[in-house]
Amino acid sequence: MNPSYKPLFESLQLKNNVELKNRVVLAPMTNFSSHPDGTVSDAEIDYYVRRSKGAGMVITACTYVTANGKGFDGEFGGDHDGMIPSLRRLASSIKEQGAKAVLQIFHGGRECPPELVPNGETVSSSAVASEGSDITPRALTESEVEDIIAAFGETTRRAIEAGFDGVEIHGANGYLIQQFFSPHSNQRDDRFGGSLEKRLTFPLAVVDEVQKAVKEHASESFIVGYRFSPEEQSEPGIIMADTLKLIDVLSDKGLDYLHVSLMDFWSKPRRGVDDDKLRVEYLLEKIAKRVPLIGVGSIHTADEAAKALETGVAMVALGRELIMEPDWVQKVQEGNESEIATTLSKKDQAKLVIPDPLWQAIVNTPGWFPVVD
């Protein structure tokens, strides 16, 4: 192995004493391939098995914690105990390859397609449509908010019973947790909305409920992470200064890691702070080594991954790259990084073990993946 890549393969001990074998994480990527009843399909299992041999930790696609939180066709569920056998299949298939298996838990809020939720009724923090959408969600009542908070805890319990090594709270990408934090989508005047501090109430309550479930049902080695998006394009919307406040509070919550959601690791802030540093650099300064940060965003080559680690992030997550090159970790370890694929062709589906729905999305979404004929 090239000595400059050795930092990628150093083990990492989390604060709960779990040791990850390396610094490479399979990023959570929706694959649209579960059965309509929310159970995991064989195609999904095969997809994860193919990508779990090298990474130190595998974060699954998101699973919904309530029936009205289903955000995608072909998303698998964790909203009732009947899902535990399905989740157990997924957890064991990942762990058998040598990676830690982390279940991402979420509620889609106003981003849920009406046809996927009960009575076609989408819900959110407030009755505010997403930008560009003509679907206005119904504002959740306080008691419904409390029920969803409790559901995050219950889905965590199911993840524990299913044998997962941890959960990641999905507070990113415009879904319900972010909708409560955002001044665009949250226009409430109760304890869950208003000031920045009140908009933190729901995200922090979810963290507390998840940690409570872990304390009651799991050993100390169970991993809890939190994913966030640093900014929103909409105005008013989340700005970098807001996120630094969120991160400051989360860094003292006893989480095992934080995970920033970025399309480009090297991106700079849009507004709220000066743009003379990377978003990642601002985050690392605020975190001040209190909790490990996972960086992500258009990292493809071993050089790019090693350079990302040099910023101070504890781990690098690869999403699209591990879809195109499932053997990324092994090739870097074996000194064969020149053989790493950073594009895919329309003939590669079977070789890459990609389920049909995800494959159709890849080849029919211009600009998402570098597809060559």
Where do the domains of the chain lie?
Answer: 3-372
Share of the chain above pLDDT 70, in %: 100
Are the C-beta atoms of 1 and 333 separated by less than 8 Å?
Answer: yes
In this structure, what are the phi and psi dihedrals at residue 191, rounded to the nearest 5 degrees? -70, -10
Are the C-beta atoms of 90 and 44 separated by less than 8 Å?
Answer: yes
- Does pLDDT of 188 surpass 90? yes
**Pairing mode, if any, of strands 57-64 and 100-106?**
parallel
Confidence band, pLDDT 50/70/90 cuts, at residue 373: confident
Mention every residue, 6+ apart, whose C-beta is less than 8 A from residue 193. 125, 126, 180, 186, 187, 199
Assigned token pair, 208: 């507390």
CA distance 195 to 252: 21
Query: Any catalytic annotation for residue 175?
Result: yes
pLDDT for the residue 5: 97
pLDDT for the residue 358: 97
Region 49-74: mean pLDDT is 98
- Does pLDDT of 219 surpass 90? no
pLDDT for the residue 365: 94
pLDDT for the residue 220: 87
Q: Is the pTM of this model over 0.85?
A: yes
Catalytic residue, chosen from 47, 175, 257, 282, is 175
- Does pLDDT of 353 surpass 90? yes
Side-chain half-sphere of 87: how many Cα atoms within 13 Å?
A: 32
Are the C-beta atoms of 237 and 182 separated by less than 8 Å?
Answer: yes
pLDDT for the residue 80: 98
pLDDT for the residue 270: 94
CA distance 176 to 258: 18
Among 43-47, 153-157, 274-278, the range scoring the smallest mean pLDDT is 274-278
Region 75-90: mean pLDDT is 98
Domain 3-372, CATH among 3.90.180.10, 3.40.50.720, 3.20.20.70, 1.10.760.10: 3.20.20.70
**What kind and span of H or E run contains 61?**
strand 57-64
